[in-house]
Amino acid sequence: MLVLGLQGSPRRNGNTRFLLAAFLEAAARRGARTRLLSVPEADIRPCRELGVCEKRGTCPIRDDLAREGYGLIREAEVVVLASPVFFYGMTAQIKALVDRCQVFWARKYRLRLADPRRATRRGFVLSVGATRGKNLFEGLLLSARYFLDAIDAPLAGSLLYRGIEGPGDLARHPAVRGEVEAAVEELLAPLRRRRRLLFLARQDDGIGPMAAALAGHRAAAAWEVHSAGLEPAANLRPGVAEAMAEQGIDIGFQRPRVLEEALAEGPPDVVVALDAAAAAARLEGAQHESWEVPALEAEPPGRLRDALGPRVEDFLGREAGG
């Protein structure tokens, strides 16, 4: 399970960085994989309202968001937006990222696509401000809430600190560490109780991502679902994301993973082998099963998706039943 922190403060040793680092450390201690994207140091350009995303669900601006950020935002199960209050809103740097996530808004509301794990994805907000007014965080929270809705990671909670101005102010706050621990525990507890399911194939470029998306879509609350390949692959095969999109499931930003990457999520409880190469692999401590499914080269992705659906249903039913 990936917890992604989006860091919005331009200050090198600022309060937001301190707060987000504490949050990610608490998540890592609970077994989550964590990733920090420090937006002011990244090449992330503002939205130019070109209108491409509204039609195609992609953005033609080539920067770090296109190269890696969109994929990370989709891969994460928890997305943490962290920013100081600048003029009652978030910083310009992180607002640029938020605006560019109109891509996700368009995929969700124009193209009617949903993240396969939308039932379990969560958003969280961390913020600090110098003053103490009642409305200090209202502007930032309103933007953040709509951003998190657009990326299918609805706002689950926030930690907001008033009267924080100088670089070391928050580190001296008496309660912050305990509050971070409590918030992370509450957020991750239901996600950590799940069993881990890994779909394994020779390459993670089609059948595995489809099976994982179907299983995640149906049962993300019970299973942390991953897919991986024994050999690397550059991209999903043509037509795979489109076949899932026909059912409203968005895997458009997914990239193939190798087994080592999937194992970094923690040991799987169940491994489902999707071809002969994967059936020969054995992971210690995991329950194994092999599914007879047609090879992707032999079938159009839509047919394969339809063949996988009942297998996924059967698996989830069997496991839920006993």
**Contacting residues toward ligand FMN, per CB under 6 A:** 9, 11, 14-16, 84-88, 128-131, 136, 164-165, 167
Strands across the sheet with 122-128, in order?
33-38, 2-7, 78-84, 122-128, 155-161
Position of minimal CB gap to ligand FMN: 14
- When the beta carbons of 111 and 130 are compared against ligand FMN, the nearer one is 130
Strands across the sheet with 287-290, in order?
223-231, 195-203, 270-273, 287-290
Instruction: Determine the 3-state secondary structure of 7 from DSSP.
Output: strand
- When the beta carbons of 16 and 227 are compared against ligand FMN, the nearer one is 16
**Minimum CB–partner distance for residue 99 and ligand FMN (Å):** 18
Pairwise CA distance, residues 113 & 120, whole Å:
16
**Minimum CB–partner distance for residue 165 and ligand FMN (Å):** 4
Pairwise CA distance, residues 33 & 89, whole Å:
29
- When the beta carbons of 85 and 278 are compared against ligand FMN, the nearer one is 85
**Minimum CB–partner distance for residue 187 and ligand FMN (Å):** 21
- Give yes or no for a contact between 109 and 65, defined as CB atoms under 8 angstroms apart: no
- When the beta carbons of 8 and 252 are compared against ligand FMN, the nearer one is 8
**Minimum CB–partner distance for residue 128 and ligand FMN (Å):** 5
Contacts 24+ apart (CB under 8 A), 283-287: 283/198, 286/198
- When the beta carbons of 135 and 234 are compared against ligand FMN, the nearer one is 135
**Minimum CB–partner distance for residue 144 and ligand FMN (Å):** 15
- Structure letter (DSSP) for residue 214: H
- When the beta carbons of 15 and 203 are compared against ligand FMN, the nearer one is 15
**Minimum CB–partner distance for residue 15 and ligand FMN (Å):** 4
User: How far are the Cα atoms of 33, 274, 275, 301 from residue 294, in angstroms, in the given order?
Assistant: 33, 9, 9, 10
Pairwise CA distance, residues 251 & 114, whole Å:
9
**Residue 86 in tokens:** 């600048």
